[in-house]
Amino acid sequence: MPVTAKLSQAFYDRLGHQVADEMVDWFNQVDAANRSDLRELNELNFARFGATLEQRAAELSAKMEQRYGDLSAKVDRFAAELSAKIDQVSANVDRQIAQLSASVDRQIAALALTVEHQQVIQMRWMIGMWVVVLVAVMGLWIRR
């Protein structure tokens, strides 16, 4: 919005209308020229700012892509290491379960033998007691 310069009546009276109007026109032309120059300067600055902003956005995007690639590689390495450790732990657990199963089987076999052995011993004692009782009964029956 242009501002038209106006001079006081005393200025018109001293210089005359023609000179004062020329001064007002000259001030308005200088104002318009300054506004035009300022507009061009602002447009140039805005264009430079836009270019700089675009360049920095591209640099930031490149950095983010690089960091994303690095992070993706780290995650892949971590997943591979974790998978290897899980496989190792799984193999270790399987081995320990097999050892425990074998140990339980041995214990069951040993317990079965022990129980069988105890039953044999009990049978021998029972037969021995019956023989003693039978001999005592026969001895008493014969003695009669």
Residues 49-62 have pLDDT tens digits of 999 999 999 999 99
The parent domain of residue 124 ranges over: 9-143
Asked whether the whole model's pTM tops 0.85, one would answer no
pLDDT, position 19: 79
Above 90 in pLDDT, residue 73?
yes
Percent of the chain past pLDDT 70, that is, above it, reads: 95
Number of domains in the chain: 1
3 part of a folded domain? no
24 part of a folded domain? yes
1 part of a folded domain? no
> 126-140 pLDDT, tens per residue?
999 999 999 999 988
Above 70 in pLDDT, residue 47?
yes
3-state SS, one letter per residue, for the chain: CCCCCCCCHHHHHHHCHHHHHHHHHHHHHHHHHHHHHHHHHHHHHHHHHHHHHHHHHHHHHHHHHHHHHHHHHHHHHHHHHHHHHHHHHHHHHHHHHHHHHHHHHHHHHHHHHHHHHHHHHHHHHHHHHHHHHHHHHHHHHHHC
pLDDT, position 99: 95
CA 116 from chain center: how many Å?
60
84 part of a folded domain? yes
2 part of a folded domain? no
How much is the average pLDDT of 69-96? 95
